[in-house]
Amino acid sequence: MYIRTRESWEVKSDYLNGLFGEEDVRRYPFVELGLNLKLFHVDVHHKLDDDGMSYCDRWIFAQLEDMFEAIESAAQAEKITISLQSRRCDNPDNEYSISTITKIIKGEDANGQVCYVFKCLNGKSYMQPCIDIQEDQILNPRVVYSLKS
């Protein structure tokens, strides 16, 4: 799934382009999510100097593979924080939830389909795209991400 936009939604601003020196950046007041999938919010913290100055790049991903690729390319970052935005149907109260992920576990189901388990700081746990199996039924589980303090 991709996050979709339309050309007519674009906010064109020569002022902002000049202010930030970003001629190739496009700005949109909103985007469309084509499918009802979980979203991943990624904060990549960079340390600028020894006095504690830092900045944070923030991204939203719809695809796990894209998120993992971005994290690998940011391996030199001081800290990477991933949060999961659930779908309404993932929660008993039928509400969205954004939870900081402490651990991502990758494994397979009995048919060899890749499954992920997302363990969150608030105690919640989500699975993707595992259907009709429980976390303890995942085969060959291994940690592929762990939150560093």
Residues 26 and 49 in one domain: no
Asked if 8 and 45 sit in the same domain, the reply is no
**19 with 68, same domain?**
no
54 vs 147: CA distance, rounded Å: 19
- Are 54 and 25 found together in one domain? no
Query: Are 52 and 119 found together in one domain?
Result: yes
pLDDT digits (tens, 9 = 90+) for 94-142: 999 999 999 999 999 988 899 999 999 999 999 988 777 888 889 999 9
Q: How many domains does the chain have?
A: 2
Confidence of residue 1 (pLDDT cuts 50, 70, 90): low
Q: Do residues 11 and 71 both lie within one domain?
A: no
Pair (136, 71) in one structural domain = yes
What is the domain range of residue 1? 1-35
Task: Quote the pLDDT of residue 108.
Answer: 93
What pLDDT score does 115 carry? Answer: 93
Task: For 8-67, write each residue's pLDDT tens digit.
Answer: 888 887 777 777 777 777 778 888 887 788 999 999 988 877 777 888 889 999 889 999
